[in-house]
Amino acid sequence: MFRTMIRPLFKNKKFIIGFSIFLFFLFLGIFGPMFYRVDPTEMTWDYEQPPSSAHPLGTDTYGRDVLAQLLHGIRSSLYIGFLAAIISLVIGTIIGSFSAVKRGIVDDVLMGITNIVLTTPSILIAILIASYLKVRSVEMVAVILGLFQWPWFARAIRAQLMSVMSREYVYLSVMAGYSDLRLVIEDLIPTIATYAFMSFVLFINGGIMGEAGLSLIGLGPTQGISLGIMLQWAVLMEAVRRGLWWWFVPPGLAIVAVTASLLVISTAMDEVFNPRLREE
């Protein structure tokens, strides 16, 4: 697997660039708060200060250090993104592969559900659910977001597996008496591995963007710091109209950098593994 999958990826320039940028932010999120040991919630009298040596990215209206908020924000936004992505991936894989393997009524019911969730605007339902929860943990926000972004993936998985199911080696396994579960795990899952990984990357993206959107309208995690919560405070305190650029520019840039790098990674994978897109 290493030879056939990983190595060609690292020959792709786009992939290397996207991957490096993402790794950089991943490290910032994981190790940043360990090295820059400033409490992001500590309020000081040094409020609304532009960047200086004491506060590399300045402070907000409550005198909280923006760099410390940014590092913690990257950490929790990535965490929410990962968690939401795992939830979406698991739901999508289960529904998609069950539909493809069981066919018949199971397929009809599962695809019916999938289509309903697909047509319902997920961010609206997420807003609605979040508005009824008085206390929202970071994990809960991830669950709310993860619950709604799987349908297109489930449909793609189902379509792909349907075509795999008609190949000879699958027939052989069926004749050999494989159980459905063994069939899925040994014969089917490996064929969708790259596609699943690409989708996983985009799910992280969706989670990060979703958190930012929810938080901005005041429905993000009720405790802690995230990139979205930073933006929310900046909007609430009119940071934009009062020209406090160091407050709202960094979190937005971080969101763009992380999500764009993930999109580049997924596009590059598409190019490497999809012969029609390969550059001649």
Give yes or no for a contact between 258 and 20, defined as CB atoms under 8 angstroms apart: no
Helix 66-102, helix 151-165: angle, nearest 10: 40
Cα–Cα dist 200/266, whole Å: 9
Cα–Cα dist 168/18, whole Å: 38
Q: For residues 177-196, which are near other proteins according to CB under 8 A?
A: none
Does 205 bind other proteins (CB under 8 A)? Our answer is yes
Binder among 51, 63, 213, 224 for other proteins (CB under 8 A): 213
Does 276 bind other proteins (CB under 8 A)? Our answer is yes
Does 123 bind other proteins (CB under 8 A)? Our answer is yes
Query: Per-residue contact track with other proteins, 254 to 273, x per CB under 8 A?
Result: -xx--xx--xx--x------
End-to-end CA distance of the chain: 24
Does 125 bind other proteins (CB under 8 A)? Our answer is yes
Q: Could you tell me which residues come within 8 angstroms of residue 78 by beta carbon, excluding any fewer than 6 positions away?
A: 25, 26, 29, 204, 208, 258
236: left (phi over 0), alpha (psi -120 to 50) or beta: alpha
Does 249 bind other proteins (CB under 8 A)? Our answer is yes
Does 21 bind other proteins (CB under 8 A)? Our answer is no
50: left (phi over 0), alpha (psi -120 to 50) or beta: beta
- Minimal distance, residue 29 CB to other proteins, in Å: 17
Nearer to other proteins, 108 or 186 (CB): 108
Cα–Cα dist 137/126, whole Å: 14
Does 121 bind other proteins (CB under 8 A)? Our answer is yes
Does 134 bind other proteins (CB under 8 A)? Our answer is yes
Nearer to other proteins, 67 or 212 (CB): 212
Other C-beta atoms within 10 Å of 145: how many? Answer: 29
Residues that bind other proteins (CB under 8 A): 112, 115-116, 119-121, 123-125, 127-129, 131-134, 159, 205, 209, 212-213, 216-219, 231, 234-235, 240-243, 245, 248-249, 252, 255-256, 259-260, 263-264, 267, 276-277, 279-280
